[in-house]
Amino acid sequence: MTATTLLFRDNAYARSCTATVLDVTPEGGVILDRTVFYAQGGGQPGDVGVIRRRNGDSVAVTNTVYGSDRSQVVHLVGTEAAPRFSQGENVDMELDWERRFKRMRVHTALHVLSVVLPYPVTGGAVGDGDGRLDFDIPDAGLDKAELTERLNALIARDAPVTERWITDEELDANPGLVKTMSVKPPRGSGRVRLVEIEGIDLQPCGGTHVRRTGEIGQALVTDIEKKGKQNRRVRLSLVD
Ligand SMILES: [Zn+2]
């Protein structure tokens, strides 16, 4: 099975590309050989956008997900539209950048939030302009205004956000690196993608991030919700 090349992983700012149809699924999905569309995962929804056929046909993508073995990316266009595509056909695709960029800003802000609140994260979600993290933390008198201030102070550093791959062997050779990570890296796949916010955060992550924290702009902690005795759900939103 030919894997889909994940262009969004090497360049989160790529908005469009050309691609070749590998297959069409009975569920109304189009599998392409490469894609700039982020596939749903890690609490971030899949991208939406359009696929343009060379005959001028423009087809809306309503969500993007991984195929069953996770090597291919499925662009959901509906059972009406999918059969119009044929294997080997060349197409142009363009994602809904306005929505994706908001998600990148929220996602990166959540990395910063995990530094403001250095507790184990048990869940999270990225929305269009807002997001949340769930923390394993007893009630510590968290204050929205104070968290907002600390969050924005870190964002305002305009720190560069970089991504790099590291092998399991390099990880084993650098125990100090693992110690500085806010989240322990998964083992066994041979390599891990590290996301570093310079001077602020280092953790394994497969998501899409902005290049500098300044691109997040102002963020606001909007809610701190009690989810059981040991759990607090903290919501933030972008101030646009
Ligand atoms: Zn991330």
Q: Which two tokens stand for residue 222?
A: 């909007």
Contact 67, 31 (CB under 8 A): yes
Taking CA atoms, 150 is separated from 9, 19, 76, 129, 218, in Å, by 29, 43, 40, 19, 11
Share the mean pLDDT of the chain: 94
Contacts of 98 by beta carbon, 8 Å cutoff, 6+ apart = none
Tell me, in angstroms, the distance from the centre of ligand 1 to residue 88's CA. Answer: 33
Tell me, in angstroms, the distance from the centre of ligand 1 to residue 132's CA. Answer: 13
Contacts of 15 by beta carbon, 8 Å cutoff, 6+ apart = 36, 94, 95, 97, 100
Please state the length of the chain. Answer: 240
Predicted TM-score (pTM) of the model is 0.94
Contacts of 102 by beta carbon, 8 Å cutoff, 6+ apart = 128, 129, 238
Low-confidence ranges of the chain (pLDDT < 50): none
Q: Residue 180: what pLDDT? A: 77
Tell me, in angstroms, the distance from the centre of ligand 1 to residue 213's CA. Answer: 12
Contact 57, 23 (CB under 8 A): no
Tell me, in angstroms, the distance from the centre of ligand 1 to residue 197's CA. Answer: 10
Residues with CB under 5 A from ligand 1 (ion): 205, 207
Tell me, in angstroms, the distance from the centre of ligand 1 to residue 43's CA. Answer: 10
Q: Please tell me what DSSP assigns to residue 39.
A: P
Half-sphere exposure of 164 (CA within 13 A, CB side): 10
Percent of residues, the chain, with pLDDT higher than 70 = 99
For residue 123, the cross-strand partners are: 134
Tell me, in angstroms, the distance from the centre of ligand 1 to residue 211's CA. Answer: 12
Contact 101, 109 (CB under 8 A): no
Q: What residue type is 201 in one-letter code?
A: D
pLDDT, one tens digit per residue, over 175-226 is 888 777 777 787 778 899 999 999 999 999 999 999 999 999 999 999 999 8
Pick the closest to residue 41 from 68, 62, 64 (CA basis).
64
First CA to last CA distance, the chain: 43
Residue position matching structure tokens 């999918």:
82
